[in-house]
Amino acid sequence: MSESSPASPIRVGFIGLSPSGWASKIIVPALRAPVNSKLYRIVAVAGRTLETAQAAATKYSEIVGHDVKAFGGQDCASQMANDPDVDFVVVSVKTPNHLEVVMPVIDAGKPFFLEWPIGGNDADNIAGAAEAKGMKNMIGLHYKQILTLKKVSIVTRWYQVMARPYLRL
């Protein structure tokens, strides 16, 4: 792959892109949508083992129509973050692993997207480390984690039930 330029798509690597996880259902389709497909290019996946990463790379290579690199093992986050062919990293792993996985990305100075919720004091540690490096990053909220939307959903469902006309026999 060649170096990215302003006119080139942002080359995205995923850490934790499981076949049935949130990223595979929400983020990948959003990046592949017609409005975004020229802006982003999925180029790498990383997983706990090289075997799972290679299986994911094979799957996504077929989906996106070009080779996708695989990084596996304990240092997969560092490998991906230090790869010059990856411009941006999506971290989509279980909450207890966020800090361990995202810190090598921050250390490498690579912009990242981290799914929410972030556990314990990890949010402060992650934000502090990224701020100290002057990095761009994004945190994504799951719909179910946004209290206001949860309340709107409950009220909407309640209204749908209560607004139904009574059945008269």
Please, which residues bridge with residue 115 across strands?
Answer: 140
More confident residue, 120 or 144: 120
Grade residue 168 by pLDDT with cuts at 50, 70 and 90: very low
The string of pLDDT tens digits covering residues 64-119 is 999 999 999 999 999 999 999 999 999 988 888 888 999 999 999 999 988 876 76
User: Please, are residues 53 and 74 in contact by the beta-carbon 8 Å criterion?
Assistant: no
Residue 167 has pLDDT above 50, yes or no: no
Between CA 49 and CA 66 the distance in angstroms is: 22
What pLDDT shows up at residue 94? 85
Grade residue 164 by pLDDT with cuts at 50, 70 and 90: very low
Grade residue 45 by pLDDT with cuts at 50, 70 and 90: very high
Residue 26 has pLDDT above 50, yes or no: yes
Residue 146 has pLDDT above 90, yes or no: no
What pLDDT shows up at residue 121? 77
Tokens of 82: 């230090």
Local structure of 105: helix, strand or coil: helix
Contacts of 69 (CB under 8 A, 6+ apart): 13, 43, 44, 45, 57, 83, 85
What pLDDT shows up at residue 53? 93
What pLDDT shows up at residue 142? 57
Q: Burial-class residue 88 by CB neighbours within 10 Å (0-12, 13-18, 19+).
A: buried
Q: Which domains does the chain have, with CATH numbers?
A: 10-142 (3.40.50.720)
Q: Give Cα separations from 60 to 55, 104, 132 (angstroms).
A: 9, 24, 34
What pLDDT shows up at residue 137? 77
What pLDDT shows up at residue 169? 41
